[in-house]
Structure 1
Amino acid sequence: MIFSSWNIRGLKGVGKLSMIKNFRRKFNVHMLGLIETKTEMVTNFDIAQLWGNGAVKWELVGSVGAAGGLVLMWDDMVFQMNNCYKGARWICLEGVLLKTNFSCAFCLVYGPHERAEKLIMWEELSFLSGLCQVSFCYMGDFNEVTHVEERKGATSLTVSAEEFKSWIQDMELVDLAITDRLFTWFRGQSCSRIDRGLVSLEWLEEFPDTRLRGGPRGLSDHCPMILEVTRISGGPRPFWSLDSWFTHDGFLRMVKEEWRNLGEGQFIDKLKALTTPLSRWHRANFGNMNQRITQLEDEIKKVDDMVSTGMADGTIEARRRALVSFCRKWYIRKELHWKQMSRSRHVKEMDKNTRYFHNLASARRRSNMIDSLMVNGRLIRNQARIKTAIRDFYKGLYHQETSPVIGFRDGLVKQINEEEALELEMMPTVEEIKEAV
């Protein structure tokens, strides 16, 4: 299933209808939201022209004069609408995806420019989420960035940008990464990423392979946002080191012992062989973090109950302090694990919302997937061929090169005299070290 939003900056004009129709056909879009249509009214004939046929449902928020305007179209064989809600700058459809019988809501958004109006719109969108009580997908032109690198030439974030980031976190939404471009809006030398897709945690739990990419701009100064809901198997994932392991006192000792036991051999082969004992050690020491935390919390509660009944003494108090210390350590390990997996740029302090981090980790894996690759001037999209091309490239890059065996008697190495030999054995002076550094 494919959903798309596009700020087209005017529905009328030479080539606009053809551009939209070709885009929908090319990407087989099942739901299409058009932003800034600059039209107060559209007809069924207009929608049929845009969609390419008459088998389409649609909703409209008309423009105010030549300002704004939203149109949301969808294939009713894919999505069944139950309720529709509208605001001055958004359209929300609440209903069911028929293929999976999944209850959800889509909201097409056109963010204002002024900070005060943005705050009002975000409050309205928050109310919508509480009203519908289903998984949410917000898409459109939010007219706001969340990171400095999303606006070319910016050195700091505005107040409204910081507030937008806070709103996304408070709503527990995941800001989907765009896999194929840095910016979505272009005008002259100015570039920004102000078009985006935000989905709820429940959405990603249902569709873990949800991905966002940009389409061709065509006649607009905005790129269309294309949200793909697919289930793609990327094969086995690579094994890597986790920061939480280093909080365990026995981790480094275990690694040293296992490395010695592997004996002599190629570094890459030994590293690959090390993954087995590391995986086994991880399962034994970190595989049941939630259970360990629950057990510690239960023990702390028992101690608290003893204190409440007057059975406390110095030993009980010392036991409680030890239990709290262990429990804090396991919370930190758990947060280190999911914070690393998510590579979250939003969180500075530890936060116990591991569900949020877990879904950010899934989003990171999606954005890292390679959809296509140029090999010998030819674009390939088959995942098996992509893996083969990458493997062959690095095998060729890191293969052992043959070199001639040259001895000292071949005249290539000059024999040094006794004075030069003594100079090599002398300790460098402080001045020589400073000069070298």
Structure 2
Amino acid sequence: MRRFLEVIEELALKDLPLLGGLFTWSGGLNGLSRSRLDRFLISEDWENHFRGAIQCSLPRPVSDHFPILLDGGGTRRGPIPFRFENMWLKDEGFKELLKGWWQGFNYSGSYSFILTKKLKAMKIKLKEWNSEVFGKVGVNKGLALDKVSYWDNQEQLRALNEQELEARKEAREEFKKWALMEETSWRQKSREIWLKEGDKNTGFFHKMVNSNRRRNCLKKIKVNGTWLSDDHDIQRRVVRAFKDLLSDPGGWRPCCNNIEFDRIGDEEATRLDESFSGDEVFLALSDLNG
């Protein structure tokens, strides 16, 4: 132990305080032996890059070790765009729910206008359903795991009756369901669709998502020989650059006076949104000449 502490000091590493407990392993006779065997060691540069990092212990459903989690606080990003989640399709009755919503939207106008309005209404409906009914996958998975742990702890104290055994079985099935949902979600985010679902590749998908985020993250930009790393400065410079590209600079431009351009009238423009008639389809096929 002394040598271990000396190595930590030589490498200038830091052991963050452990939240949620004082030890990460217990065993021995009647579980009286306890020790802090697991820990994250970080450098000063790493801590400066990920401010607010903490390590905490997690529940242990089967092992004699408490898993520990290093939370770096994440990266600051803008609003998350809407994405249709493939895991929703695994929820029983979801397709019928979608069909009912779609048929319940009534709009009048051109076909393109109706499609646009229905898609926008469907997006709002899906967001509400996901927030109020479906919930967060990680939270639902954790609740199911808590139920499994509860019945396992009860079994340590006494024999479970048939109803309690059935309740534990349902909790385990619920945990499997949300674990598969989580894997499906991370698979979609990772874009690694060549791997088969259900093979418990959630850890790999998670790593690929983090890799994509690091690659797509704009941490700093160089403007006129100066590097900018502050989020506000980067946003301001990017907005200014696009304003310069897309705004009217004024000054001289070629004159188009007295030049005639072909254009269609209002009546012809309205006809572009009309549906094709049977006669028009027949004539178009006839003109293909076999």
Q: Which has the larger share of strand?
A: 1
Where relative contact order (Cα < 8 A, 6+ residues apart) is larger, the structure is 1
Q: Which has the larger share of helix?
A: 2
Q: TM-score category by the smaller chain?
A: 0.3 to 0.5
- Give the TM-score, by structure 1 length: 0.33
